[in-house]
Amino acid sequence: MQYTIAKKMYFNGQKCCMLSILEVLTMVNSDDRRVRKTRRLMTDALAKLLAEKPLSNITVREIADMADINRGTFYLHYKDVFDMVDKIQADLFEKFNAIITNYMPTANSKRLFPLLEKLFELLAENANLARALVSKHGDAAFINKLKNVVREKCLADMPNPQPDKAAEFDYFFSYVSSGCTGLCHAWLEGDMAESPAEMAALAERFIKGSFDAAIRH
């Protein structure tokens, strides 16, 4: 799109040089930054409101007032509050799924740390939203959707699991995923003094300890 704008300027016989192209790129990038900033303000406002009350009680006006924007600006981005939540969750899910796909341990590299570090970095980048999602007014179905992505990936990587082992895995996964959710919640609700790398190392140690104990049993 950026190239097309500059190209039209040239073929319409207008004065066009490298400076004009740079001006177009700067204008588009500036707009992108404004869009990202506005959406971040609205997301933070939604997260704060979710800490106080359920989604069904939150209005567009409340989000707009808290984000210091007008309602018209809100409707440039979303149809309503539920559309906003759907789009935010879809974006977060896409990022989460990409991390699981790219960093899940393999037969050649069984360490969990790279995966966990990326997940904690994602949490840190979206701390306000993450707090809202795990709060009493959060979306348990969305959290379970994230857990299921990991579960399905783990099952897909299991070499010909036996029925009894598959059932045992479900119990183990439920135990570990609930523990990890609790760990993330404690970190988010605290002062987040530890870095994502430190939290990843801690989570890896806990998971490995649980796995080793299960194997010994």
pLDDT, mean of each 10-residue run, the chain (217 residues) = 42 46 48 87 94 93 96 95 95 95 77 93 94 86 92 77 72 89 92 95 88 57
Domain boundary among 52, 77, 102: 77
* pTM metric for this prediction: 0.77
Q: How far apart are CA 148 and CA 29, in angstroms?
A: 36
- Residues 193/49/78/57 CA torsion (nearest 10 deg): 150
60 and 149 inside one domain: no
The pLDDT of residue 126: 93
Residues 185 and 215 in one domain: yes
* Claim to verify: residue 11 and residue 25 sit in the same structural domain: yes
Statement to judge: residues 125 and 41 lie in one domain: no
* Of the residues 28, 48, 77, the one at which a domain ends: 77
Domain extent at residue 12: 1-77
Give the N- to C-terminal CA distance of the chain in Å, as an integer: 60
Place of tokens 């567009």: 60
Note whether 173 and 132 are same-domain residues. yes
Q: Indicate whether 72 and 25 sit together in one domain.
A: yes
- Co-location of 103 and 129 in the same domain: yes
Q: What is the CATH number of the domain that holds 46?
A: 1.10.10.60
Q: How many residues in total does the chain contain?
A: 217
Domain count, the chain: 2
